[in-house]
Amino acid sequence: MRALRLRLVPSLGATLLTAVATANVALWLIARPLHQPTGRYLGELCGAEAVLLLSCSLVLATILPAIERAFSGLDRVAVWHRRVATIAVLLLVPHRVLVASGADPYGTAIGRGLGVIALLGLVVLSVWALAPRLRTAGWPGPVVRRLARASYERWLTVHRLTGLFMIAAVAHGALVAPALHSSTLLRVTYLAIGGTGVAAYAYRELFARFVIPVHDYTVSEVQRPNDTTIGVSLEPVREPLAFVPGQFVVLSFGGASGWQTHPFSVASAPSERRLDVSIKAVGDYTRDLHDKLRPGTPAKAVGPFGGFDYRHGGHDQIWIAGGIGITPFLSWIRSLDGTFDRNVDFYYSVRRQADALYLAEIEAAARHHPTLRARVVETEREGLLTAEKAAKGHPRGMDVWIYMCGPPPMMTALSQGFRGLGIPASRVRWEQFDIR
């Protein structure tokens, strides 16, 4: 999930987030106490809005099923979590500047100290979270490069401190903000918002592990079709995890450096007891899995997550897989039966045909289902797959649905291309897996 720009369709979750953020601003404008200096009050408003957005980001991090449904997929929850947290940190800049423009009647060493701790901590965590994107965008500096190279597990461990800095921010505002001392309505609302964020953080860190089901598996087979990919089959220790084709799970494997959690798309069909995943060795941990994972290794699966389901789309569809992005489509293909009623052009983009995994199985499915037309695109010979090439044969404005999974730059370019062809964002669906 590493795209810089994701075209989101309107959703219940996004609408609720926007409504809550707008309502909080309106409340502060309407309930402004008398004799509050304008500059200082606007600074407090920015701080209160930052606390609201931080609370929302912590609520989104609970990964509750209702939240995932509201945003049509956990990947979109992650995008909005990142967005609202980034906006919250940006609001701390005008907050800090504007509150310094007025008197500070309630300022204490403790209150100011908590504000400094919250500001510095949240800025550092935000820069760390955005470091890979900043580096890709050409942001200079050895600090950004070092943070971008940090392992996912190290980043995640430190990122979990966000809630503590948010608690410091809530306490800071409650102690020093004159508006909160002057208005019972604003004070109660502010504390309720902050309390919601604290409760969400406590649930995520202390109780979620006892609520979210964890399924025990054992690695039964490991295949290494090339130097960078492994196919892993897992057998359930007890009841298998139930999922819908196209969903993903969060897996952790045992071992000396094990139990790190990473999301992987499921390749198997729901009717099978075993769980198949394909893993691309792109980081230290996944490269270690490629080299060392063996049958008999214990594993834990959490999920399923995601709303990548072609059955939600219309009759005419375009499926596009790039590299390891073939995995969710493989789950779809393995689940096809006589009820399959979609008209699909399926493009599998790889550098060369030798890189195409599961090709024989895909071609067999296409022969069995005539309305599924599969084609391998060899980019070394044919050039990159574009939206214009993929949509060839579909009249402009046709009610075609797009489902994609692959490298983020490819997905971003294709998404923009389909939008340029007049296909609305509501009919272009693709998932990301980089939650940073």
Supply the CATH number for residue 375's domain.
3.40.50.80
Same domain, 72 and 83: yes
Are 176 and 112 in contact by the 8 Å Cβ rule? The answer is: yes
* 327: exposed, middle or buried (Cβ count in 10 Å: 0-12, 13-18, 19+): buried
Domain boundary among 177, 211, 245: 211
347-391 residue pLDDT tens: 999 998 888 888 999 999 999 999 999 999 999 999 999 989 988
Residue-level pLDDT at 219: 94
Residues 222, 344: one domain?
no
- In this prediction, residue 12 has a pLDDT band, given cuts at 50, 70 and 90, of confident
How far from the centroid of its chain's Cα atoms is residue 61's Cα?
Answer: 10
Contacts of 121 (CB under 8 A, 6+ apart): 161, 164, 165, 168
Q: Are 348 and 326 in contact (CB under 8 A)?
A: yes
Residue 2 lies in a domain: no
Residue 7 within any structural domain of the chain: no
DSSP 240: P
* Domain co-membership, 324 together with 296: no
Structure tokens at 231: 């196919």
Identify whether 435 is part of a domain.
no
* Structural tokens at position 97: 């500047």
CATH number of the structural domain spanning residue 290: 2.40.30.10
| pLDDT confidence bin for 136, thresholds 50/70/90 | low
- How many separate helices (H) and strands (E) can be counted in the chain? 17, 11
**Weakest mean pLDDT among 37-41, 152-156, 266-270, 341-345:** 152-156
The maximal CA–CA distance of the chain, rounded, in angstroms, is 77
385: containing domain: 310-430
Residue 399, CA distances (Å) to 91, 315, 420 in order: 41, 8, 15
In a domain, 41, yes or no: yes
> Given this model, what pLDDT does residue 125 score?
84
Question: Between 382 and 4, where is the model more confident?
Answer: 382
In this structure, the answer to whether residues 49 and 136 fall within a common structural domain is yes
Amino acid 171 reads A
148 shares a domain with 112: yes
Q: CB 176: neighbour CB atoms within 10 A?
A: 22
Q: Are 376 and 350 in contact (CB under 8 A)?
A: yes
Residue 6, in any domain of the structure: no
Asked whether residue 4 is assigned to any structural domain, the reply reads no
Radius of gyration of the chain (CA): 24
Residues 118 and 16 in one domain: yes
Q: Which of 157, 190, 211 is the last residue of a domain?
A: 211
CA–CA distance, 322 with 324 (Å, rounded to integer):
6
Q: Are 369 and 258 contained in the same domain? A: no
Tokens of 195: 């309390």
289 shares a domain with 353: no
Residues 170 and 33 in one domain: yes
301 and 421 co-located in one domain: no
Whether 53 contacts 87, CB under 8 Å:
yes
What is the tally of structural domains in the chain?
3
Q: Are residues 154 and 136 in the same domain?
A: yes
Q: Which of 281, 305, 329 is the last residue of a domain?
A: 305
Q: Which of 405, 186, 153, 356 is nearest to 257 (CA)?
A: 153
Q: How many CA atoms lie within 13 A of 400 on its CB side?
A: 24
CB atoms closer than 10 angstroms to residue 312: 12
Q: Is residue 251 part of a domain?
A: yes
Domain match, 288 and 414 both: no
The per-residue pLDDT for 5 is 35
The tens digit of pLDDT for each residue in 97-109 reads 998 877 778 878 8
Residue 343 domain flag: yes
Q: Decide if 9 contacts 72 (C-beta within 8 A).
A: yes
